Amino acid sequence: MTDPNTSQPSTNHSKNHQTDSPIGGSASDSTARSSNASAVITTVSKRNTIIGIVVAFVIGAVLGVLILGAFTSLKPNGSTSSTVGNTASPAADATNDSCDTTFTVVASVNQWGSLAQQLGGSCATVTSLINSTSADPHDYEATASDLAKLAKADIVVLNGAGYDSWAEKAQLDTKRQAVVNVGDLMGITATEEHEHDHDHADGEEGHHHHHGSTNPHLWFSPEAVLKAAEAINAAYTDKAGASSATAATAQRHFNEWNGEYADFVTLVNKARSTDVQRRYVATESIISYLLEYIGAIDKTPATYTNAMNSEAEPSAADLKNAMNIVSGNDMDLLVVNPQEMNGFAKKLNEAAQSSNKTIISVTEQLPENQKTLLGWLTLIANQALAADTTNGYFLTQDVKDRSLSDYEGEWQSVYPLLQDGTLDKVMEAKAKKGDMTAAEYTKYYDVGYKTDVERIAIKGDQMSFTRGGKTATATYEYSGFKILDYAKGNRGVRYLFTATGDAPEGAPKIVQFSDHGIAPTKAAHFHIFMGNDSQEETLKEMDNWPTYYPASMSKEEVATEMLAH
């Protein structure tokens, strides 16, 4: 049972939706690796035991008062402001956290800040100095306030590899602070070719994005993300003390995170086992780590990539070659960075649009609608693999026209089944896996399923709608399909039909089907959107999607079928 606008079981009334190891080691190995992670971070030296106890008692009392006051102003669900330098709130699952020590954590960018927050929960107050997709990290100039926050933090998380050299130059006290530098964890050090030059010639616009032979966008590397998670967990444990409540809380969060990482690995391995391969062209190579990890094949002309990485203009021949590849049959995906859509990127984007190709838009910073780094990587992997049509991940070029015959038959509304309690067990099952109670799910689906059309019969080009024992029939013609992009990253397809002539009272002028299919096939069930204005107006409906199953099925069979989905 899914929301057709999300292609996923829905948890709220939003119209949007929002999932090296196998390939080089198992996620289950991460606990063993974490014991080594502390070797690459700098921690506080041990103090005299008696003095430490006294100091901890005093600090604990003060922090207790501060934390209680701070909680009244923290945002829920681990959300962060879109402004630069704001403090992130503890994650939503941190309500049961026990903290005898709390830490201030400062990350140079929100990609790593979100990871630190997820792993620290209520025991960490995390500030990401660059915390918005509207901020350009390559042109970023650290303020005195930024440098002060870095110097005062208990734990500092840097990307390294020359990406955030402005933060690496801060006056950090490695005897007092724990510093996690992901570039160092990966053995990638900053060199001149990786440094971002902020000096512009007179009249020159844009920034210098020199990466040379090394890609510093390490948060797109699953291996780097795993190592960073281990190192951050080790920093929390080492600074709090292995036997502390804070360390236990951090370990619980890390174990939960590690389970999510295992799910991510499973997603990639499943695609590899079914030989899913995607060919791509990229306007920038920022997510090449992730694309390599999932086995995607880079079809971007090397001369074009080299020119873009060195901020030179691709030659006319190189640009034409890239555009031909995008428009041809030897490419599945175009990857763009909306923060860097220069003239060349726009031309490739236009070529992808005109040839009906899939376009994946990926920012450098964690987008405002993504809560966690790993969740974001999972989303991008799903978009690139495009191998889960049911949940809204598919290639644009694979969407095909369909006829009314795909929906032929007699159908019953599930709304009466929700009202009479037949679907109670379905709601209870959803509550066990989701983040709402069974009663809350029932309320949500009461809005989604609500309709007075008890039955729909479809034969040939005619549809009949039965309300209160009265039936109205109209003839419909196919009006094409519309791909809807949802804010949380997945997509859906609606197949559009329009009544010919004047539809009688009781028969809608506009009908749109969504059954999670993208090509001709017999529907097992469907969601329907009905209106009397226009296709465009009906496409705006996101909250009400009456759902129909074959009329031949019993109530119990419908419920069983829903449980299976």
pLDDT for the residue 315: 86
Mean pLDDT of 295-321: 86
More confident residue, 131 or 65: 131
Tell me, what's the pLDDT at 306?
A: 81
Give 37's pLDDT tier (boundaries 50, 70, 90).
very low
Report the pLDDT value the prediction gives residue 10, as an integer from 0 to 100.
Answer: 42
pLDDT of 12 above 80: no
Q: What is the spatial distance between Cα 226 and Cα 370, in angstroms, rounded to a whole number?
A: 19
Evaluate whether 155 touches 176 at the Cβ level (below 8 Å): no
213 — pLDDT class (breaks 50, 70, 90)? low
> What average pLDDT does this structure show over 396-407?
97
Q: Which SS3 state, helix, strand or coil, does residue 44 take?
A: coil
Render pLDDT for 422-472 as a digit per residue (tens, 0 to 9): 999 999 999 998 889 999 999 999 999 999 999 999 999 999 999 999 999
Give the closest residue to 265 by CA, choosing from 452, 25, 482, 82.
Answer: 25
> pLDDT at position 88, please?
47
pLDDT at 49 over 60: no
359 to 103, 239, 280, 314, 348: CA distances (angstroms): 41, 44, 10, 21, 10
Pair of tokens at residue 543:
């909250």
- Give the tens place of pLDDT for each residue, 545-554: 999 999 999 9
pLDDT at 434: 87
Check: CB of residue 483 under 8 Å from CB of residue 401: no
Q: All domains of the chain, ordered by start, with CATH?
A: 103-188+215-267 (3.40.50.1980), 276-386 (3.40.50.1980), 404-564 (2.40.128.20)
Greater pLDDT, 210 or 435:
435
Please give the average per-residue pLDDT across 176-181, as a whole number: 97
Contacts of residue 60, Cβ cutoff 8 Å, sequence gap at least 6:
100, 101
Arithmetic mean of pLDDT over the chain: 83
Q: Whole-angstrom Cα distance, residue 203 to residue 525?
A: 60
Q: What is the pLDDT of residue 15?
A: 36
Q: Are 108 and 129 in contact (CB under 8 A)?
A: yes
pLDDT tops 80 at residue 395:
yes
CA 292 distance to own-chain centroid: 19
CA distances (Å), origin 380, targets 22, 153, 290: 18, 32, 9
Q: For residue 13, is pLDDT > 90?
A: no
Amino acid 195: pLDDT: 45
Give the per-residue pLDDT at 461. Answer: 97
Please give the pLDDT value at position 248.
97
- Predicted confidence at residue 94, as pLDDT, reads 60
Q: How many CA atoms, within 13 angstroms, populate the side-chain half-sphere of residue 468?
A: 2
DSSP 97: -
Mean local confidence (pLDDT), 267-284: 93
* pLDDT at 6 exceeding the cut of 80: no
The per-residue pLDDT for 191 is 54
Residue 303 binned pLDDT confidence (cut-offs 50, 70, 90): confident
Q: Rounded to the nearest 5°, which phi and psi values hold at 135?
A: -95, 135
Report which of residues 474 and 188 the model is more confident about. Answer: 474
| Bridge pairing between strands 87-88 and 124-130 | antiparallel
CA 481 remoteness from chain centre: 26
The one-letter amino acid code at 174 reads T
Higher per-residue pLDDT: 509 or 139:
509
Question: Tokens representing 42?
Answer: 């700098």
The band of 93, judged by pLDDT with boundaries at 50, 70 and 90, is low
Query: In whole angstroms, what is the distance from residue 293 CA to residue 221 CA?
Result: 8
Task: Read off the pTM.
Answer: 0.79
